[in-house]
Structure formats: structure tokens, C-alpha cells
């Protein structure tokens, strides 16, 4: 096999399994390099979606808009696929463009062709999507998790491959510890990644997380405001006497935590064996008191 290919030569190789296998056996590096340097037109009918694609939701309106653009200008950015056999290719990246091209009625699409086994394909798909696609923070976090779980990459290896520092990767992965309600809010872009990171810092208190999620949505709180509320809550928890908490049964501690989450401040629940007791809600100043009064009046 010659070490110099032209586009026609690459097409010929891809269409002839025996010749391609022989070429790969003789010099796989050159075949891979030449495939990387050429864009080929592939029949849409020969391309299938990738089940490991991290993006699951595609906005129909955005797809229609992209399809309209493709009808006028064509598909400007090629998709990337791996070759299964001469009439079957699987998408590595570019499923959104592929779907829009089908809507636009294209018979062929420009594509980069890769040679890869399943693990290499998944790694390439996840990395290319992280770098090129407009994924939300949860989708990126899921992609990082897949690189760790399925491709057996370390945080350091992911950092090298995607060009992000390890802290960024760790912060994304922490989002996956959040409840479904909060993850959905991130996916729908109702809250930012900054909000989600702050909420992830109090994962031991689900009631407080959900209470703050509601406040973020209703009051359009900034990330700084949420961090301040969390800090105040944590300060009150630190100053709380451990012995008092230990005397409360679990079901009463849960009730105390729910009141604390609702008011966004320290709440002390005291109850005697006879069932009598008191609920003490702490406030720092008149402004804090007015906020508590407003909360009660709203209910």
C-alpha cells in the first residue's frame, strides 16, 4: 500500500473490506492519518446513531432551524463516524447535525471516518462532545462519569484529554450526587452550575437543598446569595449543642431539619415525654425577623 492516498483511494479502500484490512495490517498509522485528513460523502442510509451518545434530548425547534439552514447552505461541519463495514457507519459525534440533515432531505452527508473498537469509539465520542457540543452541565458530568466507569480513565487522564483542570472535572461530577429535582433544574437551565455546586455542598440535608431550589426559582437568587444562606445555616449548625440534638429521636430531628430548611435559619425543637414543648426560631436582626414573618404570612 502506498503511504500517500488521494480521496479516491480512500473511498476505494473503505468500499473494499479485504483491501482495507490488508492496508491496516501493513500500516494502520498511515490509514488512520489519511482518514483524519479527508472528508468523505457518506449515504445517510448507511449511518446509524450511537447508543452511547451522552446527549439524549434534542430540541425539535432548534433541529428545524438547523435543517432550514442546511437546506440553504449544506452541512458545513462534517460529522464523525466509525466504520462498521463498507455500508454501515456509526456516529461518534454530530448526531444533532445528522438528524437535521435527515430533516433537510439530504441523501449524503460529509463525514470524518474513524477506525476504532467500541471503547475507543466511546472515548472519542464523549471527548468530542464535551469539547464541541453545547451540552448542559449534567450532560457533561455524565460524560465524565462514563469516561471513568466505561473507559477506565482517571481524573488526570480526562484532564489531559479534554484540556480542563481536575477541579473542573470534580465539580461537574459532584453534580451527579444531587437529587433528580435539582439535576432536572440544571438540565432545563432553571438554575446555573454555580447554584448546583452550592447545593451539592449540603448534600446531607435534602430538605434544605429543595427549599433553596424553590427560593432560587421564585426569588431569582444569585449564586452569592445562595452561598450566604448556606453559610448562615452551617454556622448555626456548628454552634448547635450536640447533646441537645442527640436527645431528639430521629423522627423529631427530621422535623427540626424541615423547619430549619423552611425558615433558612437555626431552629431548635424541644419536646418533653408528655408531648409538650417549644419551637425556637433564631434570627440575627430585624431584617431577618421581617423575612421570617413574610414566609409565615405567605403560607
Active site residues: 95
How many Å apart are CA 264 and CA 257, to the nearest integer? 10
Torsions phi, psi for 15 (to 5 deg): -85, 0
Vertex 81, ends 79 and 82: CA angle to 5°? Answer: 170
Q: Do residues 195 and 216 make contact, with C-beta atoms less than 8 angstroms apart?
A: yes
Give the 3-state DSSP-derived string for 200-224, with helices as H, strands as E and coil as C.
HCCCCCHHHHHHHHHHHHHHCCCHH
Torsions phi, psi for 2 (to 5 deg): -70, 145
Q: Do residues 281 and 261 make contact, with C-beta atoms less than 8 angstroms apart?
A: no
Q: Where are the alpha helices (DSSP H) in 151-205?
A: 155-162, 166-174, 180-187, 193-200
Amino acid at each position: 500500500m502506498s503511504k500517500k492516498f488521494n480521496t479516491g483511494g480512500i473511498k476505494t479502500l473503505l468500499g473494499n473490506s479485504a483491501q482495507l484490512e490488508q492496508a491496516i495490517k501493513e500500516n494502520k498509522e498511515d490509514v488512520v492519518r489519511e482518514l483524519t485528513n479527508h472528508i468523505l460523502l457518506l449515504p445517510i442510509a448507511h449511518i446509524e446513531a450511537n447508543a452511547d451518545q451522552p446527549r439524549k434530548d434534542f430540541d425539535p425547534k432548534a433541529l428545524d432551524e438547523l435543517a432550514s439552514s442546511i437546506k440553504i447552505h449544506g452541512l458545513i461541519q462534517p460529522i464523525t463516524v466509525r466504520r462498521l463495514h463498507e455500508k454501515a457507519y456509526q456516529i461518534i459525534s454530530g448526531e444533532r447535525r445528522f438528524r437535521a440533515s435527515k430533516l433537510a432531505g439530504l441523501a449524503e452527508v460529509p463525514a470524518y471516518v474513524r477506525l476504532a473498537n467500541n471503547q475507543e469509539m466511546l472515548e472519542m465520542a464523549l471527548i468530542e462532545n464535551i469539547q464541541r457540543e453545547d451540552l448542559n452541565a449534567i450532560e457533561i458530568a455524565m460524560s465524565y462519569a462514563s469516561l471513568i466507569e466505561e473507559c477506565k480513565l482517571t481524573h488526570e487522564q480526562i484532564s489531559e484529554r479534554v484540556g480542563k483542570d481536575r477541579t473542573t472535572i470534580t465539580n461537574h461530577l459532584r453534580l451527579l450526587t444531587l437529587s433528580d429535582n435539582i439535576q432536572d433544574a440544571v438540565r432545563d437551565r432553571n438554575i446555573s452550575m454555580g447554584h448546583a455546586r452550592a447545593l451539592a455542598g449540603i448534600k446531607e440535608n435534602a430538605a434544605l437543598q429543595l427549599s433553596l431550589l424553590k427560593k432560587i426559582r421564585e426569588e431569582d437568587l444569585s449564586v452569592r446569595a445562595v452561598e450566604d444562606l448556606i453559610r448562615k445555616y452551617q454556622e448555626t449548625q456548628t454552634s448547635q449543642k450536640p447533646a441537645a440534638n442527640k436527645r431528639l429521636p430521629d423522627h423529631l430531628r427530621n422535623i427540626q431539619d424541615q423547619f430549619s430548611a423552611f425558615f433558612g435559619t437555626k431552629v431548635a425543637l424541644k419536646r418533653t415525654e408528655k408531648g409538650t414543648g417549644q419551637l425556637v426560631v433564631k434570627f440575627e436582626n430585624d431584617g431577618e425577623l421581617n423575612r421570617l414573618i413574610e414566609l409565615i404570612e405567605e403560607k
